[in-house]
Amino acid sequence: MNYWLVKSEPEAYSWADFLRDDGTAWTGVRNYQARNNLNLMQPGDQVLFYHSVSEKAVVGLAEVAAPAAPDATAEAGSPWVAVALRPVGPLARPVALAALKADARLAELALLRQSRLSVLPVRPDEFDLIMALGAA
DNA sequence: GCCAACGTTGGC
DNA sequence: GCCAACGTTGGC
């Protein structure tokens, strides 16, 4: 079991949209490093859902429903892939970026080190801590 | 709205 | 193969 974090601008595709759709194909990733992370995802992996830009908080938990497959929104023959994600549930309390930065135990969190990457790995200890911070 | 970080493109 | 120019992302 591995842990990940995906980012979405809520104005483009929000957690509420994700719940409404009861999951979605995570298409549109056009960065090789992010793609490599998508390729490493396995069904059942847990995925933190992060709202970037306007909210800057982890808002929910998703899981991988299907592994990487060619991204249907990309040109045929292109290297881009998508995984299927399904919602697990919202965090009782969103965990703000500021809270992540404030916790010394998250100093190595990939999100903080590579703020522009949209699909990031999360260590098990980091995942547990973020889930604890997001619990009621 | 600005700017830093960083990936990509294209000229040489 | 290098590097300047440029575009995009995302925090502030």
DSSP A122: E
Closest CA to A46 of A117, A133, A136, A128: A128
Instruction: Kindly determine whether the C-beta of residue A33 is less than 7 Å away from any atom of nucleic acid strand B.
Output: yes
Scan residues 45-74 of chain A and list those with Cβ within 7 Å of strand C. Answer: 52-53, 56
Q: What is the pLDDT of residue A77?
A: 80
Strand ranges (DSSP E) for chain A?
3-8, 24-25, 46-51, 57-70, 81-96, 119-122
Q: Which protein residue's Cα is closest to nucleotide C8 at C1'?
A: A116
- The alpha-helical segments, DSSP class H, found in A1-123 are 15-21, 32-40, 97-102, 110-113
**Strand B nucleotides with an atom less than 7 Å from a protein beta carbon:** 5-8
Nucleotide whose C1' lies closest to the alpha carbon of residue A33? B7
Q: What is the pLDDT of residue A78?
A: 86
Per-residue pLDDT of chain A in tens (136 residues, 90 and over written 9)? 999 999 999 999 999 999 999 999 999 999 999 999 999 999 999 999 999 999 999 999 999 999 999 999 988 888 899 999 999 999 999 999 999 999 999 999 999 999 899 999 999 999 999 999 999 7
According to CATH, the superfamily of the domain at A3-134 is ph1033 like domains (3.10.590.10)
Q: Which helix (H) or strand (E) holds A43?
A: none
